[in-house]
Amino acid sequence: MPAEEKDEPRYKRPQSEEDLVSGFEAKKVDEDEHLRLKKIAFLQANGAIGLRMNAVLRMVAKRTKEAQEAENLGTGRLADRARKKSSGLLADARAKLDREIDQTIGRKGLREAWEESDSTAETDWNEIDGLLQGEGETPASKPAPGGVIAAAPGGNSEESHGVVVSLLAPDVAGDYAVFVALPERLLIVEGQEGDSDLGVLADAVEKRLQAPYRARALRVDERRFVVVAGEIETIDLPGLDGEELVIFALPDGQRTVVLDGARYELASPEVEAILEESAPCLLRLENVDETVWEISLDLL
């Protein structure tokens, strides 16, 4: 006869001081992560996740992926060293994220609202799914009415919020189009097969997403297009003439500026404000239309 099976006890007495300490540490990590995600959801609900926050989230996603890869390296001294290094970098990235979250709450004047918020309220974790895993930076959108499908993009950290739209557009010629939409209904066509008005595609996107954004449209049959659109950050820089500006910034005020492959002296309070807040960082600006430049920020 087989031995009678017994349920595992819900509580196991720690066998050593090390077991006890590790148990407390694991509980603290869980609580810290839960509070971190609560705060991110709060900032998202208040529209307070901007350029720098997205950059920090990308860094955490990168360090998380590196730590996961290090866990699969097997055994040995080199593998242990890699795991220790990746774990330390991930801890540093999370600490930076915690600081950025708290500073953003204060900078946006949301401290009182956060303290008064119901910390026990049910959080829709789908709203922040993937934020720290490199699978996008904002929540998935709900299906749009009228047969238009909308969802957030996966795996593209450059697009902080995006939609995928399917629509009937029989009057649009060609099989593809790429365009940037700016406020006040200004469309900048970056690539297109044919010369049709792309307003109908922009109209479908803007039921779910406000300008500025970049959209890529692809024909799927004789009458239907699918449009993938992602939010972009822009800045107005009148007087700056060029196509691409790259700035390497250090916290001590050192700046290396390159415009279209040549060294350049830039005097812009708007750009300097971004650099002071984000250094050390690499800032890329690409010209979209006359004085409008698209911003891409990578923290170092």
3-state secondary structure 225-261: EEEEEEECEEEECCCCCCCEEEEEECCCCCEEEEECC
Predicted TM-score of the model (pTM):
0.55
Backbone phi and psi for residue 246, each to the nearest 5 degrees, phi listed first: -125, 130
User: Could you list the pLDDT tens digit for every one of the 300 residues in the chain?
Assistant: 454 444 444 444 445 545 444 444 445 556 777 788 888 888 877 777 777 777 788 788 888 888 888 888 777 787 788 888 888 888 888 888 888 888 888 877 888 888 887 554 444 444 444 444 444 433 333 333 333 333 333 333 333 467 888 889 989 988 889 999 998 888 999 888 888 899 999 999 998 888 899 999 988 888 899 998 888 889 899 888 889 999 999 988 899 999 988 998 888 888 888 888 888 889 999 999 888 999 888 887
Ordered by start, the domain boundaries in the chain are 17-128, 162-231, 235-299
Name the token pair of 267: 């005097």
DSSP 76: S
